[in-house]
Structure 1
Amino acid sequence: MPKAIRHYVRWVDAFNRTLGRIMMYFIFVMAAILLWSSFSKTFLLPSLWTLEMAQFAMVAYYMLGGPYSIQMGSNVRMDLFYGEWTDRKKAWFDAFTVMFLIFFLGVLLYGGIDSTSYSLQYGERSNSAWRPYLWPIKVVMCFGIFLMILQSIAEFFKDVARIRGTQI
């Protein structure tokens, strides 16, 4: 593999690994928000912001942890035939199917950018009583999708290297 591709794969893997490990702890942020929600409903006045903020934290948790999940290979596969294949055949199949993932994520990113620009342009807010602006979470979603595309491309290069009998 060319040096530029090896450098790209290492950089994307390192960035997504670091971000993914940071995002692992976001589950505690979400738990703290929900704990505060329960506490405030029981002992104080109910908070208007807790449910929606927990949803936003969950979106950030999934979207920014997604590239790390792709990198770790923790995505779901149908193992009916795949488990019996050789590593080279698996690499061929993965290199082919990752193209569908990249296409899907590209369409998702296109729609996400369009929705984010609309949200920024018109100051879109949620319809809840709290009425937060929606553009920050949409930006997080677009960034997460973009990182998933970068990680998917890196996985494609790793598959091509496995087909050639080398590793990156």
Structure 2
Amino acid sequence: MHAAARALTALNKALFSLTKWLVYAIAGLMLFEVFSRYSLENPTSWAPELAALLFGPFFLLGGPYLLHSGGHVAVDILSARASGRVALALKICAALLALLFGAILLWFSAPLALQSYTYGETSYSAWNPVIWPAKAVLPLAALLLMLQALAELVLLAPEREAR
């Protein structure tokens, strides 16, 4: 179980390492759009839309690894002062809440992504790209978040045994 939890964490870390570079692509697209609009007086229809489509994977695929590394925004007034069994109980509660959040997100997003794929949904803009790949990232990220929450519970097991 520990090996599977470590492998999943490594996968989420690799996805995080890849997707974090999307911020540069997004910034480059927006810089190109501003330059094109104001210097060339020829705005694009595709650059802002592509930047928006890339932001979803950038934002979502980093979440599972951030759960492991503690990178999410948190109000840790209680957990910062807790130690021993209380700290462990708070970590377990946090992992269970992340698991529940991921399950709810997966429950609602998977049918929408499948429907988007089935219909070949496009954005209906002047550029009109297919958008199901961007929508498919949400259930994938929700599943990875759930699996990472389970991995966190497995990785906490040695802490439970030590107490």
- When the two structures are superposed, what TM-score results if normalisation uses the length of structure 1? 0.88
1:21 corresponds to: 17
SS at match of 1:80: coil
Are 1:57 and 2:54 an aligned pair? yes
SS at match of 1:81: coil
1:141 corresponds to: 138
2:159 corresponds to: 162
SS at match of 1:82: coil
1:130-166 per-residue CA deviation (whole Å, 9 max, x = no partner) reads: 2222211011222222111111111111223312229
Letter in 2 for 1:20: F
CA contact (8 A) 2:2 2:155 kept: no
1:70 corresponds to: 67
1:112 corresponds to: 109
Letter in 2 for 1:98: A
Letter in 2 for 1:150: L
5+ long unaligned stretches in structure 1: none
SS at match of 2:127: coil
1:90-141 per-residue CA deviation (whole Å, 9 max, x = no partner) reads: 1212212322221221121121110011111222222433222221101122
The separation in 1 between residues aligned to 2:161 and 2:125, in whole angstroms, is: 54
CA contact (8 A) 1:95 1:160 kept: no
The separation in 2 between residues aligned to 1:139 and 1:147, in whole angstroms, is: 13
Are 1:34 and 2:24 an aligned pair? no
CA contact (8 A) 1:48 1:129 kept: yes
CA contact (8 A) 2:8 2:147 kept: yes
Percent of aligned pairs with the same amino acid: 26
After TM superposition, where is structure 1 displaced by more than 3 Å over at least 4 residues in a row? Answer: none
The separation in 1 between residues aligned to 2:156 and 2:88, in whole angstroms, is: 5
CA contact (8 A) 1:26 1:61 kept: yes
1:40-74 per-residue CA deviation (whole Å, 9 max, x = no partner) reads: 11215211011111111111111111112111111
C-alpha RMSD over aligned residues: 1.7
Letter in 2 for 1:95: I
The separation in 2 between residues aligned to 1:68 and 1:104, in whole angstroms, is: 15
Letter in 2 for 1:29: A
- Post-superposition shift, 1:87? 4.2
SS at match of 1:92: helix
The separation in 2 between residues aligned to 1:11 and 1:103, in whole angstroms, is: 22
Change beyond 3 A, Cα 1:87–1:52: farther
The separation in 2 between residues aligned to 1:24 and 1:40, in whole angstroms, is: 25
